[in-house]
Structure 1
Amino acid sequence: MAHFDRRALLLLAAGGIAASAGLRPDRGEAAMTAARQAGEWPVATPAEAGFAPDLEARIDALAADPRFGNLHSALVVRDGALVAERYYEGPDEAWGRPLGTRRFGPDDLHDLRSVSKSVVGLLYGIALAEGIVAPPDAPLLAQFPEYPDLADDPVRRRMTVGHALTMTLGTAWDEGLSYADPRNSEHAMELADDRYRYALDRPSVDEPGRKWTYNGGATALIGRLIVKGSGQSLHEYAESRLFGPLGIRASEWIRGRDGDCIAASGLRLRPRDLARIGRLALDGGVWQGERIVPADWLAASFRAHASAGELDYGYQWWLGPPAPDGRPGWVAGFGNGGQRLFLAPRLGLVVVVMAGNYNQPDAWKLPVAIITEAVLPALTRR
């Protein structure tokens, strides 16, 4: 259940203006003290990390804006140190299941929604290095011999694994409708008897690789290849190859009616642990001296493979406008309801935002505001 909004991309790319809100902020000092005592993160003051000292107050001010609502948490990490950590209260759900009003804290799991896609992208790179999945240039249908009839379409035969990674399959897919609408392609996929056949069997509307279309079915196919190659569920593979090495001890991956993990949007993590994944990506796939994700895979993931309007798209990651050196100015995972994992490599910056504005058309305003009105303007050292 992803959410894509062209306006969000415009604002985030341009550093535009928006506002957000939340309820009853928790004092960040207690959370930061707990992080220090638990040894989870090195902790730095905003001033030590190159921010104005009122960084957290700026986030709280946005959370208190009555025009918007339901900010659940916001974390800022710079150069490997936890700089700001804020938690709030508001209604929430777990992949559509209401959870009531929750007062959030450091130990609470939260839906990532389509930020899950970016995690799946990392997992595919790990699996590729292990030799258990096919490279991006491999024919996609060849990885699914259980559907021999689908190869009757010559256009479909030209689809590659890379086209799934970059959402350029050239098939009919529409996630612009509400996710409560059964005509929404991801909703329809979840209702299908076989989600993978459904994702592969969409009518061809363009040559593969020619046009980008937001497509949770593509991520489902990538996740399925990891499962087939590893012999584990997607969650089990993530725990053994990514979460465990990062020290992530609590996670959940929502499963569909078929019992398979919902690759495109079902992952639930603590905000601190999503920040670990962000820091891993900034550090070129190395965590505490251990290589977890191949450096060449991260480089490929953060390279523009498709144009997604005003932004580019890599291997399951959104890419901001290029910096002077040609690399993306920022990299991000976007999720329905206001979820964000935002990375600014040249600044050594990771921002995590989690919220509960699921399926709301203006949910993009909250994470955009946190990043462009609170975090980036507070920088005193670039």
Structure 2
Amino acid sequence: MVSTTPAIADGKHTDWQIAASGETEFKSDPVTRFDDLAKSGKLSGVHGVVALRGGRIVFERYIDGNDMKWGQPLENVKFGPETLHDIRSVTKSIVGLLYGIALAKGRVPALDMPIVAQFPEYADLGRDPERERITIRHALTMTLAMEWNEDAPYTDPANSEIAMEQAPDRYRFILDRPILAKPGRGWIYSGGAVALIGKIIERGTGQSLPDFAKEVLFDPLGIDAMEWIRGQDGEPSAASGLRLSPRSLARIGQVILQGGEWQGRSVIPKSWLDESFQPAAIVDIGWPGMHYGYLWYLGEEAVTDKTGTHGERFIAAFGNGGQRLFVFPGFDFVLAITTGNYNSPDQWRAPAALLYNVFLPSLTKT
């Protein structure tokens, strides 16, 4: 079943209008493009799509289907605007925002502080001069240069994130990984790096990660419903445990477009966003030219409009199963996608079809 919701302009959602600037029209109809793709079967597994332009919802679709909650099967779900959905590793990018908020409040250490020093209970690891060189900045950019493998399926204990979840002490497990090179050299995707960042936030703020996120990010954005899954040790998963609705995910993108401001209030320091979205590492994920900032992907797409063909910068967060958040500042455009193709080698196909066949062809600068 496919349901369509038009642009929101009712009293409940008037806050979507606050960032309106310029024209918001598409140069071609995304509805027709979406329907054609859905009929062709190329959107298999898609559950929700929300697109914002000029601060308002300009496209919204939901498709009922089977889903999972952090690996546990759910019955067929009737998706709608407020239905929570796993966003998996998009969680990492949101944790990056939380660190910036905590840093501005003086609650967490500066980025060039040694990360092992934030865990004094592991004094034996702290005495290792090689580990002392690894900083919080290296964790935020996934350039720890420590052994970590998430290429194995997330159902396989050989996957380092699964091994971390099963370890008797997840933080010792992460910090005790073999060092492969000088930190800062090369990018290794690591849920462990984000687990460390999440724990540093908790220790610095004196709050659980979900409570801190609710107070400083979700409540100010009007995000009332969220869930943060905890591991078997009771620790909230900073790497992949967050559940949000597609609309809420889109709000995260919109506040980024607005330089961290929401309804006249600074929620995320603009200076942190500017720093977060500077390329710090080249990433190899099969997407040419992709870089990594502070737990966010950074790229550029060739777009043709009335001025010709040019590169259009974007900021993105990716999660297992096809979860996506794209922010295109030059188009004042946000695209949030939730899908249920977890662990599939083809999980990238449906989000790519939406981006390349539905929305990018429909956008134009005015």
Q: TM-score normalized by structure 2?
A: 0.92
Determine the C-alpha separation between the residues in 2 that align with 1:68 and 1:368: 10
| Residue in structure 1 matching 2:231, options 248, 256, 262 | 256
Q: Give percent identity, aligned residues only.
A: 51
Q: Number of residue pairs matched?
A: 352
2:305 — aligned with what? Answer: none
3-state SS in 2 of match to 1:343: strand
Q: Which residue of the partner structure matches residue 306 of structure 2?
A: none
Cα RMSD (Å): 2.1
> 1:36 is matched by which residue type in structure 2?
D
Aligned residue for 1:374, secondary structure, equals helix
One-letter identity of the residue aligned with 2:292: Y
User: Is 1:38 matched up with 2:38?
Assistant: no
Instruction: Summarize the Cα distance change of 1:238–1:57 in structure 2 as closer, same or farther, 3 Å threshold.
Output: same
Q: Is residue 313 from structure 1 mapped to residue 313 from structure 2 by the alignment?
A: no
Residue by residue, what CA displacement relative to the aligned partner does 1:261-310 show, whole Å, maximum 9, x if unpaired? 10010000111111111011111111111001111110111001111133
CA contact (8 A) 1:95 1:266 kept: yes
Q: Deviations over 1:205-250 (max 9, x none)?
A: 1111111000000000000001101111100000000001111100
Report the Cα distance in structure 2 between the residues aligned to 1:134 and 1:87, rounded to whole angstroms.
41
1:274 — aligned with what?
Answer: 249
Establish whether residue 381 from structure 1 lines up as the match of residue 365 from structure 2: yes
User: How far apart are residue 65 of structure 1 and its match?
Assistant: 2.2
Q: Which runs of 5+ in 2 are unaligned?
A: 303-310
Structure 2 match to 1:225: 200
User: What does the per-residue CA deviation read over 1:93-138, in whole Å, with 9 as the maximum and x for residues that have no partner?
Assistant: 1111111211210010011100001100000000000111111111
Correspondence for 2:345 = 361
Unaligned runs of 5+ in 1: 1-23
Label 1:72 to 1:322 Cα distance change in 2 as closer, same or farther (>3 A): closer
The answer on whether the counterparts of 2:186 and 2:281 sit within 8 Å (CA) in structure 1 is yes
Question: Residue in 2 aligned with 1:352?
Answer: 336
Aligned mates of 1:277, 1:68 — CA distance in 2: 24
The equivalent residue for 2:54 is 79
Whole-Å separation in 2 of the counterparts to 1:39 and 1:75: 14
Q: How does 1:1-382 map to 2 (within 5 A)?
A: 24-29=1-6, 32=7, 36-39=10-13, 41-42=16-17, 49-52=24-27, 54-67=29-42, 69-309=44-284, 310-321=289-300, 329-381=313-365
Tell me how far 1:259 sits from its aligned partner: 1.0
Q: Distance in 2 between matches of 1:84 and 1:381?
A: 18
Residue identity opposite 2:4 in structure 1: R
Task: Look up the equivalent residue of 1:313 and give its one-letter code.
Answer: Y
SS in 1 for 2:100: helix
- TM-score relative to the length of structure 1: 0.88
Whether the aligned pair in 2 keeps the contact of 1:139 and 1:161 (CA below 8 Å) is: yes
Aligned match of 2:307: none
| Separation in structure 2 between the aligned mates of residue 244 and residue 172 of structure 1, nearest angstrom | 37
* 1:321 aligned partner, one-letter code: E
Contact 2:66 2:340 in 1 (8 A): yes
CA distance in 2, matches of 1:355, 1:247: 23
